[in-house]
Amino acid sequence: MTQFLKYVAGIQRRQMLYGTAATLAFLLVSRVVVARQKPVGKAAGGIAHEAGDKVDLVLDINGQERHLSLDGRTSLLDALRDHLDLTGSKKGCDHGQCGACTVHVDGRRVLSCLTLASMASGKKITTIEGLAGPDGGLHPMQAAFIEHDAFQCGYCTPGQIMSAVACVEEGHADDAAEIREYMSGNICRCAAYPNIVAAIEHAKVAMGRA
Binding residues for ligand FES (CB under 6 A) = 91-94, 96-101, 111, 113, 151-157, 188-190, 192
Q: Least distance from C-beta 158 to ligand FES, angstroms? A: 10
Q: Measured between alpha carbons, how far is 158 from 120 in angstroms, rounded to an integer? A: 19
Q: Least distance from C-beta 26 to ligand FES, angstroms? A: 40
Q: Least distance from C-beta 30 to ligand FES, angstroms? A: 35
Q: Measured between alpha carbons, how far is 170 from 80 in angstroms, rounded to an integer? A: 25
DSSP 126: E
Q: Least distance from C-beta 32 to ligand FES, angstroms? A: 30
Length of the chain in residues, anyone?
A: 210
Q: Least distance from C-beta 48 to ligand FES, angstroms? A: 24
Q: Is 194 helix (H, G, I), strand (E, B) or coil?
A: helix
Residue closer to ligand FES (CB basis): 138 or 191: 191
- Phi/psi-derived region of residue 136, left when phi > 0, alpha when psi is between -120 and 50, beta in every other case: left
Q: How far is CA 131 from CA 22, 77, 94, 117, in A?
A: 62, 17, 22, 20
Residue closer to ligand FES (CB basis): 32 or 153: 153
Residue closer to ligand FES (CB basis): 101 or 168: 101
Residue closer to ligand FES (CB basis): 53 or 87: 87
Residue closer to ligand FES (CB basis): 29 or 146: 146
Residue closer to ligand FES (CB basis): 81 or 139: 81
Please state the separation of Cα 174 from the chain's center in Å: 29
CB proximity list for 49: less than 8 A, separation 6 or greater: 40, 41, 42, 43, 55, 71, 72, 73
Q: Measured between alpha carbons, how far is 111 from 105 in angstroms, rounded to an integer? A: 10
Q: Least distance from C-beta 122 to ligand FES, angstroms? A: 22
